[in-house]
Amino acid sequence: MSLFAIGDTHLSFSSDKPMGIFPGWEDYEERLEKNWNRVVGNDDTVVIAGDISWALKLEDTLEDFRFIDSLNGKKIIMKGNHDYWWSTKTKAEKFFAENGIESISILFNNAFRVGDVSVCGTRGWFFDCEKSEDRRVLLREAGRLRASVDRAKELGGEPVVFLHYPPVSLTQTCDEIYDILVEEKISRCYYGHLHGDAVNWAYNGERDGVRFSLISADYLGFCPKLISKF
């Protein structure tokens, strides 16, 4: 049994958002499916760190989630900045149940034990929040992260944090999120969101005892990254 992770699948089977127009994204759905099923087994779990589907409404995500459901293993999904279909965890879980989607769970103010790891995290928010509404969102996300880490500690095992937004880059730090990681002695944090030239600013390495890793799908070559093997 193993834990994997990948971010930013940006599926659009039912929406007019062809990612293939961007360099490196040609035929990415086929590449993702082939790579995923090659490395992930049915007893494994994959965390998808946000930006899952381009659909604007939950009902329009069906083909995207059927695609994810068809892939090997269990999946734990979380919200990204482009998941406009997201309303509530309860509505999404009801939608999955009504449509026979059984391999997908939602990470939102909770945590999941997978082997010796407790999966926790939240969407996060961007750097340099100056507007009051952005500040409120950031503080809310920081609260959700702390709540998720608390649930992870209750489950036991190593709390491993997954975020959509990067908490740190080569030039900036989101202190409200970053400080929680350090205070809670999180040793591993994985994040997505960055594409193209932006990956050059990604922080991949250890800082203050936390090892940070970028897991955007295109950065990983559309192949889930092994997090832990049990």
Report pTM: 0.96
Q: What is the mean pLDDT of residues 22-32?
A: 89
Per-residue pLDDT tens over the stretch 40-99: 999 999 999 999 999 999 999 999 999 999 999 999 999 999 999 999 999 999 999 999
Per-residue pLDDT tens over the stretch 116-163: 999 999 999 987 777 788 889 999 999 999 999 999 999 999 999 999
Nearest in space to 52 (alpha carbons), one of 60, 42, 41 = 60
Annotation: CATH topology of 2-229: Purple Acid Phosphatase; chain A, domain 2 (3.60.21)
For position 15, what pLDDT does the model report? 75
Flag the least confident range among 12-21, 100-109, 179-188: 12-21
Q: What percent of the chain has pLDDT over 70?
A: 100
For the chain, the domains span: 2-229
Spatial contact of 193 and 7, defined as CB atoms under 8 Å apart: yes
> Is residue 137 exposed (0-12), middle (13-18) or buried (19+ Cβ within 10 Å)?
middle
Spatial contact of 58 and 91, defined as CB atoms under 8 Å apart: yes
For position 22, what pLDDT does the model report? 76
